[in-house]
Structure 1
Amino acid sequence: MSINRDSRSEFYSNGDVGSRENCETTPLLQNGTVQTRATGASFASSVFNLMNAIMGSGILGLAYAMASTGVVGFCILLVLVSSLAAYSIHLLLKLCDQTGINSYEDLGEKALHKPGKVMVGIAIVAQNIGAMSSYLFILKSELPAAICSFLSSENTGHAWYADGRLLLILVTVCVVLPLAMLPKIGFLGYTSSLSFFFILYFTIVVVVKKWSIPCPLPHNETTLTGTFQVSNTSDSECTPKLFIMSTRSAYAIPTMAFSFLCHTAILPIYCELERPSKTRMQNVSNIGIGLSFLLYFISALFGYLTFYGHVESELLLGYKTYLPRDIMVMTVRVAILLSVLLTVPLIHFPARKAVILLLFGGRAFSWWIHIISTLIILSVVLILATFVPDIRTVFGVVGSTTSSCLLFVFPGVFYLKISDRCLKSIDSVGALLLVILGVIMGVISLSVIIVTWITNS
């Protein structure tokens, strides 16, 4: 989003940045724009850049994660995932200082040779495709509601613009595709920072609107004598649950992993940092993750306390039902849609570049390859967004696979292979535990999700 910033972070990872010694003069990719480092980024701007790389579409699914695990259970898991994310960043920074490498793919090549670089590249492409799918899913679900909320007519349910799939196809063909076709889309980089403030505004709206929707939740019911409101929940359901364990809980950790993924942005941000040092960059990451944690927790908590057990997997959908014409909800919906619409081409840019590098290496630019790869990637993303019935599916599958690898498994494996200390240091033991935890959480979550699909079908 950054609605996640979860995948827009990839813009920092797809250039051959070179060694730490060359950071002063090497052009860096930032949000799709090549920039030359002159005096370096300040501490505060580096924190903002990192938060911009973290925050994203995952924030829309965290209230559902809290409803699936309980308030205390959610807090424990969120602290665990954010702490592991900070520790894996610590390992990446140590590897950067040891090897002089500041590219995630190159670390993979250093640790596991060519297969390592290919695995990281595939994970980044899959992560980006998942992120783009989540953004287009938001367009599919929110665009019809946004249009209907601005129209005064009550009979909009059967209008063509109430069909989210049709609108998604139109917007993708007319807006996203032309922007994605551009060989350079640096001018869209400014929307990345703008999207962060949209996320901040979204959090404020979630807090404010907690008191606008009563509990038990009302819904309209029509009889022969007229229309009246009845309760959709019982009074007991208006009490927050501290711990919940169900099959829905399997989506919690993948959604959190999806939400905290920023690791491909860490090393280039480190390279751009003014007076760079590992301690200084670690402080940047700790503050960035801490502030992101705060925004995530506030939005999830107040989203859960608004709808309780009836939280939608995409939080804004709940407001469509109970506050269809609320001005603040309408404006935040438009803000999120604009952010999503301009972010998808940005995420597509590094995904396409990674695909071309994996398949064709460093060959000269070709319009045929550029156009065909753009069409194929967007087609895959559009198919996923069109036919996936629930955004939690995107968060669950991508979060338990590629996000877990990039967040937990790869940093631990790379550290063990490159440092080669045979578990004689605390960090070596920590790296091993990080790998084990990442594999266990990913496998268990994905297994439960697959079993749930089979059972429901």
Structure 2
Amino acid sequence: MEELARESISLLARSASHADPPRLGSYGAVFIMLKSALGAGLLNFPWAFEKAGGVTTAISVELVSLVFLISGLVILGYASSVSRQKTYQDVVREVCGRAVGQLCEVCFCFNLFMISVAFLVVVQDQLEKLCVSLYETVTGLSESEVPHHWYTDQRFALFIMCLLIILPLSIPKEIGIQKYTSVLGTLAATYLCVAVIVKYYLMDTHAAIITPEHIQGVSSWASMFSVVPTICFGFQCHEACIAIYSSMENQKLCHWVVISVLSMLFCLLIYTLTGVYGYMTFGQAVASDILMSYQGNDVVMIISRLLFGISIVTIYPIILLLGRSVILNLMLRAQRSRRGLVTHSFESRCRVVLTVAWITSTLLIAMFVPDMADVISVIGGISAFFIFIFPGMSKFNSVPV
């Protein structure tokens, strides 16, 4: 899912709520879909290819999953046109009922929370490599000779970054930086894809072990399906698709099918190329974060780390804003029903408390999570609700009897 340019959701939803006429063209729709899907999930694909049992198996699972991914997008567009709602949660609530709508909001909020954790894990990994690279450059020592102090620990660096950068960016009610950073995630993903391919062909020898660990039996099937959470996380743009569909000039269903197919095919190309060449470069030794497999002093990958780091630091507040808005609306609704009105000071206090609590909890989890793959497996499971379950329920309930 994140991966996650979630600012597209808030921007489009805001324009929809103001009843602006739809102005989004075909190219813009495809681009925003790509922004919503391409991101940090790309880092995990080479590892997923290794766990799936090799290139052939992983691509086969991708292609099968692609059918369901596109079907989900088409169903959501159809449900939006039938219900005349402009956000994912509103469509599910209108089509499937209030109870399912509330479940959707809970899943939506928890999904954003786990995406925030994944983002901090990625930043922490990149900080580790960047700090080692900087120390090697300054002192001339090798990575194995770098001394460990509390102030050189990447977890301390992550804490400082959250305190001095992410927290100030996240507290405001509106986050204007989203207007200028929306393309960074897509740029980082595209750059990484090209860099992985180029690095593979620049290698003197290709000695990586690419023989699958599980050739047949139950273990091979389990390994094959282990790639599904990564696919769900990587291709996750379904929460944004209804806002995108509602903002399009041409809202014919056949046109939306074309937009969905093109978007998913572009994503498939980027993810598959990165997965194939990353796996062929490192084989069974590939890390769950592909950037961690490269040397810390590799200039090409340092640029990629910086791109991903900057994009995540700027997108994290937007993820927080979306998740916080769900919880804050519930708190304001409860306050309004109890007191009859909501003061500005109450709203501000709630916003600050929720922001600090969100950052603190995601930071603590990110500091002690053993592996990025563990976080993505959770996110992929939650994403299945938005990609498979809720669209299926919407299709079932929106078809006239």
Task: Answer yes or no: is the 8 Å Cα contact 2:245–2:256 preserved in 1.
Answer: yes
1:55 maps to what in 2?
Answer: 38
User: What is the alpha-carbon root mean square deviation over aligned residues?
Assistant: 2.5
DSSP 3-state at the match of 1:184: coil
Task: Answer yes or no: is the 8 Å Cα contact 1:73–1:242 preserved in 2.
Answer: no
Task: Answer yes or no: is the 8 Å Cα contact 1:61–1:392 preserved in 2.
Answer: yes
User: Is the aligned partner of 1:308 residue 2:291?
Assistant: no
Offset at 1:250? Answer: 4.9
Task: Answer yes or no: is the 8 Å Cα contact 1:144–1:161 preserved in 2.
Answer: no
Q: What runs of 5+ residues in structure 1 fail to find an aligned partner?
A: 19-24, 27-35, 218-232, 422-457
User: Is the aligned partner of 1:287 residue 2:262?
Assistant: yes
1:351 maps to what in 2?
Answer: 323
Task: Answer yes or no: is the 8 Å Cα contact 2:87–2:243 preserved in 1.
Answer: yes
Aligned AA (1:407) = I
User: Is the aligned partner of 1:137 residue 2:121?
Assistant: yes
Task: Answer yes or no: is the 8 Å Cα contact 1:9–1:54 preserved in 2.
Answer: no
CA distance in 2, matches of 1:407, 1:6: 17
Q: Between the two proteins, what is the percent identity of the paired residues? A: 21
**Structure 1 stretches of at least 4 aligned residues deviating more than 4 Å after TM superposition:** 6-10, 12-16, 212-217, 238-244, 246-250, 362-365
Which of residues 300, 310, 321 in structure 2 aligns to 1:328?
300
1:455 maps to what in 2?
Answer: none
CA distance in 1, matches of 2:38, 2:175: 21
Quickly say closer, same or farther: Cα 1:16–1:275, change in 2 above 3 A. closer
Offset at 1:213? Answer: 4.6
Q: TM-score, normalised by structure 2?
A: 0.88
CA distance in 1, matches of 2:323, 2:315: 13
1:108 maps to what in 2?
Answer: 92
1:341 maps to what in 2?
Answer: 313
2:339 maps to what in 1?
Answer: none
Counterpart mapping for 1:197-216 below 5 A: 197-213=187-203
Aligned AA (1:403) = S
CA distance in 1, matches of 2:226, 2:211: 22
Task: Answer yes or no: is the 8 Å Cα contact 1:240–1:308 preserved in 2.
Answer: no
Which of residues 88, 98, 101 in structure 2 aligns to 1:117?
101
Aligned AA (2:373) = R
User: Is the aligned partner of 1:394 residue 2:384?
Assistant: no
CA distance in 1, matches of 2:42, 2:176: 26
User: Is the aligned partner of 1:370 residue 2:351?
Assistant: yes
Offset at 1:194? Answer: 2.3
Quickly say closer, same or farther: Cα 1:17–1:118, change in 2 above 3 A. farther
CA distance in 2, matches of 1:246, 1:84: 19
Task: Answer yes or no: is the 8 Å Cα contact 1:10–1:347 preserved in 2.
Answer: no
Aligned AA (1:288) = S
Counterpart mapping for 1:173-212 below 5 A: 173-212=163-202
User: Is the aligned partner of 1:94 residue 2:106?
Assistant: no
Aligned AA (2:171) = M
- Render the CA deviation track for 1:111-162: whole Å, top value 9, x for unaligned: 3332122111111111111111111001111112113213422143424454
User: Is the aligned partner of 1:163 residue 2:153?
Assistant: yes
Q: TM-score, normalised by structure 1?
A: 0.78
- Render the CA deviation track for 1:264-285: whole Å, top value 9, x for unaligned: 2111111221233222222111
CA distance in 2, matches of 1:85, 1:9: 19
Quickly say closer, same or farther: Cα 1:53–1:255, change in 2 above 3 A. same
Task: Answer yes or no: is the 8 Å Cα contact 2:6–2:318 preserved in 1.
Answer: no
CA distance in 2, matches of 1:273, 1:122: 28
Which of residues 364, 371, 393 in structure 2 aligns to 1:413?
393
User: Is the aligned partner of 1:404 residue 2:384?
Assistant: yes
- Render the CA deviation track for 1:326-356: whole Å, top value 9, x for unaligned: 2111111111111111111111110100122
Aligned AA (2:26) = F
Q: Could you say which structure has the higher strand fraction?
A: 1
User: Is the aligned partner of 1:272 residue 2:247?
Assistant: yes
Aligned AA (1:59) = L
Offset at 1:253? Answer: 0.4
Which of residues 126, 130, 138 in structure 2 aligns to 1:146?
130
Offset at 1:216? Answer: 6.5
CA distance in 2, matches of 1:110, 1:124: 16
User: Is the aligned partner of 1:126 residue 2:110?
Assistant: yes
2:25 maps to what in 1?
Answer: 42
Quickly say closer, same or farther: Cα 1:130–1:102, change in 2 above 3 A. same
CA distance in 2, matches of 1:350, 1:63: 30
1:429 maps to what in 2?
Answer: none
Q: Which structure is higher in RCO with an 8 Å CA cutoff and minimum separation 6?
A: 2
- Render the CA deviation track for 1:370-411: whole Å, top value 9, x for unaligned: 1111112212211221111101111111212x2000110001
DSSP 3-state at the match of 1:361: helix
Task: Answer yes or no: is the 8 Å Cα contact 1:6–1:262 preserved in 2.
Answer: no
User: Is the aligned partner of 1:82 residue 2:82?
Assistant: no
CA distance in 1, matches of 2:265, 2:31: 12
